[in-house]
A and B are shown apart, each in its own frame.
Chain A
Amino acid sequence: MTANAPLLELRDVVPSFEETGLMPAPYNLRIMPGECAVIDCRDFERAAMFADLCSGMIGLTQGSIKFMGLDWSALHDRQLNALRGRIGRVSRNSSWLNLFGTHLNIMLPHLYHTTDPFDNVVLHATELGYRFGLPGLPTSAPDRLSGADLARAACVRAFMGRPDLLLLEDISDTLPEENILPFLEMMTTARDRGCGVLWFVRSAAAWHEYRKAVNIHMRLLDEGLFPMRVV
């Protein structure tokens, strides 16, 4: 990735309608390193689909998506997976494997993509857990955790391992009030080291406190992605 190059760039992207249900309209978005883009979207499914689109998981009928200067469509499987390993993601649904304990779920991407010593990974995850109000790393299966603890664990997993891009789906309804500030602090720390943030929100209240630090505000509707003025 060259200096001053966009971290994530969607240029006239038309996603496959059959695959996504997203309107086949051209989507344009450009996020520079350290920038934060807030995308208003009332539909969780559509937001998740757009996050998938940014992760190169959806076929395009037109346009290109580049992440860290690399076109998703030009990469092989191993390169795709390695690049996706640079993305931290908070998902609302279906992101937890009940085959493993929550601690392994949290550390799984990091253990898969890196060779960091296991103890260091555990230490890092535990520290992040403390920051988000967990008493440590939860070892029980994800389906045994409360919604609030799962939201905390989702934050820990997303911020693990210094990601280059954060795709944050809206979990403001499940994340406890006392964890909002650590969440915003972690986001700012990540942005300070050059991580871009794409934050999907359902209402203005979710990002009200962070409004001044947001660079891009857009709205994702049936008809496409529309820029809004950041106030």
Chain B
Amino acid sequence: MTDTPTHAPDHVAPQADPMAVPQPDHDGRLVHLLRRFAPWLAALGRLTRHQVRFALLVIGSGWGVLRESMRPNSWRRPVIYEFRATLRQVVSGGFLSIVITATLTGLMVVSQAAYWLGYAGMAQMTGSILVSVLVREISPILVGIIIMGRSGMLSLTEIGMMVLGGEVRALQARGIDPFLALVMPRTFAFTLGGFTLGMIFAVVSLLMGFVVAHSTGAITSSVWTFFFNVLGAMTTWDYLIIPLKFVLVGFFVGVGSCVSGLTVGSNDTMATIMPRGFARGIMLVLVVNILFMLDF
């Protein structure tokens, strides 16, 4: 045991080969390096997957809603009841908020625009400025935020609590598809509600702005002339894009709220569901508007 053999036996010779030593060291270093960075990479991957997961869920569910809605037997009686109840809630729940917000926005934007454009001698631009700033850009964002706050969060909480309480599972046990019974009708109700409230917002904000601007003397024309100028400043695309924005904002707020509710985990509580849903809702509203801004 103590003597070192002068000639090592044949079968141990390869282990003593100095050429074989660097390979295990190199591999070991690589493994060590990977182990060191693995938690960071895993965290980064988890975050990316988590963020992308919701985007993919929304896209997939949106497509599913459209596809399922084409089938006549998707619109069964409980689905229609749910659609009506949600539409009533979205429109009646958001109506007052929309009118107040539209009034305040009209006071600020229309009167200021009319005053400063008149001051700069560009009063003829009032119509086109109002269309592009107020009706096309600001209205969809504010309408989306109000719909999300008044109704989207409610849907999210209701569905989330139903998932946590086991009611969604009970629906499935009775052969009722939660996607058909909850997600599809609510999404369409939000879509229609978004369009309705958006149109109310646009009209009220312009009207209130006119009233204030007229009373301060910034605008001297009649209300009909004012609206005629606004409509005249709208291009053909505006007639398509403005309603489409309202519709899409409603659609994505609806589908986002419902999907967020349906995908809550067993560890979730109201304290985790609501902030997450709010952040996602805001993100969806902005994404829809930014996408339109990029293309048009």
Residues on A facing B (Cβ under 8 Å): 51-52, 55, 57, 77-78, 80-87, 89, 91, 93-97, 99-100, 104, 108-109, 111-113, 118
Residues of B close to A108: CB separation below 8 A: 78, 174, 176
Known contacts A104-B81, A111-B77; A81 and B175 CB within 8 A of each other: yes
Q: Are B167 and A97 within 8 A (Cβ)?
A: yes
Minimum C-beta distance from B153 to chain A (A): 16
Q: Are A112 and B173 within 8 A (Cβ)?
A: no
Minimum C-beta distance from A102 to chain B (A): 14
Cross-interface CB contact of A82 among B167, B175, B181, cutoff 8 Å? B175
Residues of A close to B165: CB separation below 8 A: 94
Q: Are A80 and B175 within 8 A (Cβ)?
A: yes
Known: A81-B172, A84-B173. 17 other contacts (CB 8 A): A55-B173, A57-B169, A81-B175, A81-B177, A84-B174, A89-B173, A94-B165, A95-B167, A97-B171, A99-B158, A100-B81, A108-B176, A109-B175, A109-B176, A111-B76, A111-B77, A111-B78
Minimum C-beta distance from A107 to chain B (A): 9
Residues of B close to A89: CB separation below 8 A: 173-174
Give A86's nearest chain B residue, CB to CB. B175
| B123 interfacial contact with A, CB 8 Å | no
Q: Are B176 and A91 within 8 A (Cβ)?
A: no
Interface range for B: 20 to 34
Residues of B close to A77: CB separation below 8 A: 177
Minimum C-beta distance from A165 to chain B (A): 12
Minimum C-beta distance from A109 to chain B (A): 4
Complex: A93 Cα to B165 Cα, angstroms: 9
Residues of B close to A78: CB separation below 8 A: 177
Q: Are B176 and A94 within 8 A (Cβ)?
A: no
Residues of A close to B170: CB separation below 8 A: 91, 94-96
Q: Are B176 and A112 within 8 A (Cβ)?
A: yes
Complex: A91 Cα to B169 Cα, angstroms: 11
Complex: A100 Cα to B158 Cα, angstroms: 12
| B166 interfacial contact with A, CB 8 Å | yes
Cross-interface CB contact of A112 among B85, B162, B167, B181, cutoff 8 Å? B181
Residues of B close to A55: CB separation below 8 A: 173
Residues of B close to A86: CB separation below 8 A: 175
Known contacts A111-B76, A112-B78; A91 and B167 CB within 8 A of each other: no
Complex: A93 Cα to B166 Cα, angstroms: 8
Minimum C-beta distance from A198 to chain B (A): 13
- Write out, one digit per residue, whether chain B residues 170-199 have a CB within 8 A of any chain A CB (1) or not (0): 111111110001000000000000000000
Q: Are A109 and B174 within 8 A (Cβ)?
A: yes
Residues of B close to A97: CB separation below 8 A: 162, 167, 171
7 residue pairs bridging A and B, Cβ less than 8 Å apart:
A57-B173, A80-B175, A87-B174, A94-B166, A95-B173, A99-B158, A108-B78
Identify the 6 closest CB pairs spanning chains A and B, nearest first.
A84-B175, A94-B166, A85-B175, A95-B170, A81-B175, A111-B77
Residues of B close to A85: CB separation below 8 A: 174-175
Minimum C-beta distance from B64 to chain A (A): 11
Residues of A close to B158: CB separation below 8 A: 99
Which B50-88 residues have a C-beta within 8 angstroms of A? 76-79, 81, 85
Minimum C-beta distance from B101 to chain A (A): 28
Complex: A52 Cα to B165 Cα, angstroms: 16
Minimum C-beta distance from B274 to chain A (A): 18
Q: Are A57 and B167 within 8 A (Cβ)?
A: no
Complex: A103 Cα to B78 Cα, angstroms: 12
Minimum C-beta distance from B82 to chain A (A): 8
Complex: A97 Cα to B79 Cα, angstroms: 14
Q: Are A94 and B175 within 8 A (Cβ)?
A: no
Complex: A97 Cα to B82 Cα, angstroms: 12
Q: Are A118 and B173 within 8 A (Cβ)?
A: no
Complex: A82 Cα to B181 Cα, angstroms: 14
Residues of A close to B169: CB separation below 8 A: 52, 57, 94
Residues of A close to B167: CB separation below 8 A: 94-97
Minimum C-beta distance from B49 to chain A (A): 21
Give B171's nearest chain A residue, CB to CB. A97
Complex: A51 Cα to B169 Cα, angstroms: 12
Complex: A96 Cα to B176 Cα, angstroms: 13
Complex: A77 Cα to B79 Cα, angstroms: 17
Residues of B close to A93: CB separation below 8 A: 166
Residues of A close to B181: CB separation below 8 A: 112
Give A100's nearest chain B residue, CB to CB. B81
Q: Which of B76, B77, B165 has the most CB of A within 10 A?
A: B77
Residues of B close to A52: CB separation below 8 A: 169, 173
Complex: A89 Cα to B171 Cα, angstroms: 11
